[in-house]
Amino acid sequence: MSRTTAGKSLLTLLMGIFVPLNVLFDWNQTHVFNPAWPPHARFHAAFLSVFIWSVLGIAIWLLWRRTAEPEVGVRVAALVVLAIWTPFFYLSLLVPGTSIAGGDPPGTVPIKIGETVIEPQLIAAVFFLLLTAWGYRLAIRPPASRTN
């Protein structure tokens, strides 16, 4: 398997794994089926999931389609994964009343390192972002060497 194929495969895995993770963590009583949420809030949670799944499908198609510019698909795939995971680091800072914490899924316990409390979702986000960088690096073709 070439480096490019390995990188594209890793990016595909990172995009594909999001769907079952999303269903596991969000399509339950804590989010989409949360009886405490107003119906329109549950609609938005479900809508966002389906929208992201659709964008992931488009990114996977762009990544693997035959084209004279394969780097475009690699960049789009990496950017889509980045767009999914980077809000974990800043969204709750930008929108008052939101929090990454809260036991998602129920029973999830924050990780303590000394006095520092780290939410498991942040560890997952860092993991996915590092793998995205690795997949991108593998998939992007090195510049052609020039001969003078």
- With 90 as the cut, is the pLDDT of residue 105 above it? no
Q: What are the Cα distances from residue 96, in Å, to 86, 92, 99?
A: 18, 7, 9
Task: Work out how many domains the chain is built from and give that number.
Answer: 1
Band (17; pLDDT cuts 50, 70, 90): very high
Distance CA 2, CA 44 (A): 41
31-52 pLDDT, tens digit each: 999 999 999 999 999 999 999 9
Structure tokens at 24: 């596991």
Asked if residue 80 belongs to a domain, the reply is yes
Asked if residue 146 belongs to a domain, the reply is no
117-147 pLDDT, tens digit each: 778 888 899 999 999 999 999 999 765 554 5
Domain with 117 in it: 3-139
Residue (of 117, 128, 134) closest to 3 by Cα position? 134
